[in-house]
Amino acid sequence: MEQIAKMSQNLGITHCRNKDFRWGERTYVMGIINLTPDSFSGDGLGGDVATALSQAKRFQEEGADIIDVGGESTRPGATQVSANEELRRVIPVLERLSAEISLPISIDTYKSEVARQALEAGANMLNDVWGLKQDLKLAKLAAEKSVPLILMHNQQGTSYQQFIPEVMASLKQSLKLALDWGVAWENLIIDPGIGFGKTLEHNLEILRCMEEFKTLGRPILLGTSRKSLIGRVLNLPPQERIEGTAATVAIGIAKGADIVRVHDVAQMVRICRMSDAIIRGTHQPGLPQHHNHEV
């Protein structure tokens, strides 16, 4: 743990494919490609390679920085799929995406065998929703391939004695496991895990207290897009949660988020750029300009 404390002074630069992530300069946007038939958000594409490619290209044009590809639903009550089924869904898509888009591609999996074949097929980043608690070989793989690794907090059930301290302790343990296996400090990203083993009140508390996670010394990924905390607060179905998502993204950036994982890329890129201009004092040119007279 002392190693983490010493390293937490500088987030550094994370290199991934052809991109340098310079943490703190701006917020990066990760666009979600769900290759499941049972996504909670209603955007699951199954194994439709052509549609996935079209969506990824659109995300790239809309300003996404990373494409996140997943082949197993993580919605509450979802049926676990085999590694073979997950591979059947993701590999053809990864092969096409890596050949036809220039963005870094993340594979959303907690299975090391899926991750290994995904990297061979063109993925450049690992996104582990179990933070190495299900398959420690993911750390070995990330170290061997020198790729970024996202470590998310996740647990079965919603029972906590001291919620934020316990989430932070779990993330710190995931970081230590990764470091012990040789993953470079600059390649580690943390995710407090909105929705995974947490109640509505827990999720809202994470958003209120996100600054505390900055003490772990790594970039923070925030994944609130269309999730049930928004549905419960606003009483809306997933497809009508864009404004609620926007609120969580803007507040998340103000509280320290470095990456936001989203379904609605075009809208959230605008939210990020406006929030960055206010919070970080940075302006990113490149969005279509509409010249109106201001009064």
Strand order in the sheet with 125-128: 188-191, 149-152, 125-128, 105-108, 66-70, 28-34, 259-262, 221-222
Q: Are 99 and 76 in contact (CB under 8 A)?
A: no
Q: Are 137 and 117 in contact (CB under 8 A)?
A: no
Sign of CA dihedral 206, 207, 208, 209: positive
Q: What are the C-alpha distances in Å from 274 to residues 43, 58, 142, 208, 292?
A: 26, 21, 34, 20, 17
Q: What is the DSSP letter of 215?
A: G
Q: Which of 198, 226, 261, 273 is catalytic?
A: 261
| Contacts with 210 (C-beta within 8 Å, 6 or more apart), sequence order | 192, 220, 222, 252, 255, 256, 257
Helices (H) and strands (E) in the chain, counts: 10, 10
Active site residue 261: yes
CA separation for the pair 254, 164 (Å, rounded): 18
Rg, Å, the chain Cα set: 18
Active site residue 176: no
Q: Which of 26, 116, 226, 227 is catalytic?
A: 227
The kind and range of the H/E element at 127 are strand 125-128
Active site amino acids = 227, 261
